[in-house]
Structures are given as structure tokens and as C-alpha cells.
A and B are shown apart, each in its own frame.
Chain A
């Protein structure tokens, strides 16, 4: 009986900081539930940012032509260093870069985000759910 009481007490002590974290930062619990890596962001989070966002489309030219996030720049990996010029010109310090591809299944946005960080850009993220999630979040209601 005593052991059982101690177990409950320990569980309560362990749950306290977790509960506090959830209460103070509900979005973190949300992100954890969704299994999001640190550099992944969801459309709802990007919408809440006050800093300007530079969207980078990691899809191919045909997909970009069918539809893309307004103002997005398409970065072509075929000619990456040449394409980078347009991004360097459009980017300014303090801007956040969000790279997206088609859906959660594609990994191009995550890889390209890493490549942009390697190239010297700061504050680079990739969009969880990609174009599909963004379209759903911005569909007319």
C-alpha cells in the first residue's frame, strides 16, 4: 500500500513540470503530439508570425506553375547556385525563410532548408504538410 502511494506521489511530481510546460506553452505540446522536428512549422504557426516570411518552393516547375504560395520563389536544384541569386536578392536579415514541397511525404523541403542554412541563411524552416497543408489552411470557407 505504501509503495503504491509512493508511486503515485512520484508520478505526480514527474507530471508537474510537464503540466506547467503545457499550460505555459500549449503550442509545444501540440508540436510534440504532431511529432514535428524543431525546424518544421505548420501553416497556422507561420500565419501567427509577425516577422516577414520568404517562401521557397522546392517543387518542380510544373507543380509551381499549377499553383504556389503567393510571392514564393522556386529554387531549382538543377541550377542551385544560379537560383540562389534571386533568393539572396529577395532575402533581408530578419526575414524568416520557409521551404515547402508537396505533402508530408516529400522530403525535398527539409533537405533544401538544410542546404540554405549551409549556404549562410539564418532562420530557415520547412513547412509541415507542404503545399497541400497550406492550401487546406487557406481554402475559402
Chain B
């Protein structure tokens, strides 16, 4: 069992001294519960405090206030080594003058473990990571992916209660990143360890996490499973941050509120019923005449000659399977960068529509398009979401349910 609990963690940095000292709050009261064997990903834009939060968990920084509990024990005043954690750094932070084997066994050596036992543990970790033939090499002689594996191996050897990963894949090339992503997922299943992972890459977050923690400006915006964040974002920030390309936003007016949803008027004058509740989570009710923000993901927009929206194609990105159309809207709404053919009176941002790979639109075409009202989102002026009436069926799915081992286990259970 290894669990982590954060209670109202605050981190302040003080710059200057004496009367001119100014305090910056970078973590503004974070509460979090990490369960045993969970893979939790901290994600957020740069400067959101995700790395600071992880460093506080690791013990490399002190929390200004709040409690850090590991397995129920308060760890605030305990040094990084005694917390029983292991961290993998973005720069790998391998010791350049030691061989791979010495790097991995360093913590055991400091702990006074005998040479034979050390070799045994290092070999076991090397086995898991296929590092066996590299044990006598220096880090300099390794490729980026191998260094990454050594850094992970160094963590495994310590047999920590919780693994911490600080953007471990951001120095690797795209192909290697995919490979390491899968390898990390495999390791997580194999080691059955609790892992906390910091990244700014939402693909890593979506693919690996059991639970994603979205941070912005030192505040937790939402905690939930990847599908929950995608289908039921708590607010406009999470909606815009999760999903690629970004969600499109449009200001609209409420014309009707009923039990089966909220009716809104679109720019072309037509009305649509969006199946969402009429109350935000803080209890504010939506009434007729309110102006709201409509959010639609690019993949939920579709080409439709009778659709309520129109736009001019500015940029086309063809990926084969899907095609992204960057559209300049007549009213200049949307915030996707479209650049392209813009003239002075046009806005330089617009909507993105993800269409089928075989769509034959060309740059400069004017097209009409519609959207899937079932999957549209509504946000209040304050940015809070009106939750969809229908919970998406996959929201409680964790990553473990996607892996082969648990699928076969489930089959066995059924048989």
C-alpha cells in the first residue's frame, strides 16, 4: 500500500528582503488524494506549478503550509531520501563519472547494502529494462532512450513506494517517446507501484493516466479520469486544455431553459437545444437572455450544407485519416490560429473543424457546417461548465481497464 494525500498545500516564494520583500504564491492550496497503484498525471501549461508540486512531494522543496501524507504519515519535515520515493528527472541527472551499474546502485551503496546484494538488485532492475549489456558503460556512451531507461532503473532499484516522473520523455524524439510511453505503462502494470507523472503533453496525460490533475496558476482546475476530463470538463480552461486540436468557443444567448436542456440562439438566428443542466456547480442558474459560451470540439463539427455556421477555409492540414480545416468565421469568433489569407479587417483566429481524410475542400472555399448538439458544451461567463445531462459511459474507465492483462482477467472471471 502506498498512498499520497495532499492537504491544502501552499507554496510561496519570497523575493527581495526586508521591507521590499514580495511574496509570490505559486501553489494556492492544493488538495489531492492518490490511491495505491494509481498512475496520476499532473498536467498544465508551463508555470502552472506542476513541477513545484512534485518537488514538494519529493521533499526537494518545502511546503509553506499544508500537509503531505504518504501512507497516512506526515512527511513535511522528513528529508527526500527518507520518504521512500524515487524521482526520474527531465534531464535524467545521471552521474556522468559512474557506470550504468554504479548509477543504479548508488542509493544502495549509500545505504550500506553489501556488494553482492547490490549487484543482485541492479541486475534485476536491468533485466526489467533490458539494460543488461549496458551495465559497464558510462552514461555518455548511451543514447537518449537508454539514458532514460537507466534513470528509471535507478528509481526501480530503490524499490520506492511512489515513483515520481518529472517530464521524463520531453527530451526524446517522437518515435522514442511513443515507445517509452508504452514501456512506462507496462512497467506500471508490472511493478504495481503508485506513480506520479508531470507533463505538459496532454497526449502523455491522456494515454497513461488513471487520473489526471489539471493545474493552472497553482490551482487544481479538475481531477478526473482522462475520459471524464474530455467529456465533462469542469470549466472552460480544462475544456480548452484537454483535446487536440483545441475546442472552439462561440458566444451565444440563451432563449429557453427546460428540464431536457438549454436552448440557445446561434449567430445565424437558428436555435438549438443543448442537453445540459441549467445550474452550474456553484449553484448559479441560467435564465433566458443570459449570454453563454458554446464549446464544440473540432471532431464534433461536421460539414453540412444546411448547417448553422459558415466559414472560409484558410489552412488545410491533411493527415490522411483526418483533415483539419482552419476556418475564418464571418463574425471573427474562435481562437484557433488561422493566419493564411487574412486581410486587415479579418481576425487572425477562427475555428478548427476536423473532417474526414477524403474531404476535398480547398483553401479559399466557403463552407457551411454544423455540430453535434449532444456533445456540445456550454460555459457561463465565469467559465464554469453546465454539465451534460447524460454521463458519458466511459468516464469511469481507468487506463488499467484498457490493458490486455486486465481484459483477459475479466474474460477469465466471466468464464
Asked if A and B bind, the verdict is no
Residues of A bordering B, CB below 8 Å: none
